């Protein structure tokens, strides 16, 4: 279980990543870019730190494990940033887990899913998300961290 950041007394932001995102940097770089997931994790940690926040960064290729992470976030996170990858287009289980949360949820997609294949144009996750960032590549994660910081500051 995640612990509160000592300086801000705020639970960490959970940043969850779905299937195949472990292959970033080499998988279809013309679509997803050359930034690796490890680089995105470091960028997010650095960005969160500028807001006095911390992160828990995870990736799974398994839908059930992502559901487990979301359930853990109910009591262990101040907010969730999720790139559900392919599960965004198919997973009602992930949507259900997000809708149970009482914390902000920002959905992130590296590409603009509305400019992709028709089966990618819909995201179940969007129905449960507080906000969505898409089409900005790795920078989208940083904008999501900024959005979460703004939302958390507004509710203090």
What's the CA gap between 107 and 39, in Å, rounded?
Answer: 19
14: which strand partners? 56, 80
> Is 109 among the catalytic positions?
yes
| Closest C-alpha to 23, from 68, 70, 85, 67 | 85
What's the CA gap between 44 and 25, in Å, rounded?
Answer: 16
Catalytic one of 32, 87, 124, 141: 32
Residue 71 parent element (H or E): helix 63-76
CB-based contacts of 7, cutoff 8 Å, min separation 6 = 52
Catalytic one of 14, 87, 109, 141: 109
What's the CA gap between 52 and 49, in Å, rounded?
Answer: 5
> Is 89 among the catalytic positions?
no
Residue 44 parent element (H or E): helix 37-50
- The residues annotated with a catalytic role in the active site are 32, 109
């Amino acid at each position: 279980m995640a612990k509160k950041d000592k300086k801000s007394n705020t639970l960490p932001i959970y940043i969850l990543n779905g299937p195949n995102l472990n292959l970033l940097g080499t998988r279809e770089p013309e679509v997803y870019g050359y930034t690796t997931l490890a680089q995105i994790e470091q960028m997010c940690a650095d960005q969160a730190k500028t807001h006095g926040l911390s992160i828990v960064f995870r990736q799974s290729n398994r839908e059930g494990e992502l559901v487990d992470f979301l359930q853990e976030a109910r009591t262990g996170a101040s907010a969730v940033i999720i790139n559900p990858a392919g599960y965004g287009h198919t997973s009602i289980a992930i949507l259900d887990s997000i809708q149970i949360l009482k914390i902000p949820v920002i959905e992130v997609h590296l590409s603009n899913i509305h400019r992709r294949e028709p089966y990618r144009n819909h995201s179940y996750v969007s129905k449960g998300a507080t906000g969505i960032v898409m089409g900005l590549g790795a920078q989208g994660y940083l904008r999501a961290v900024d959005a979460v910081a703004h939302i958390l500051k507004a509710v203090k």
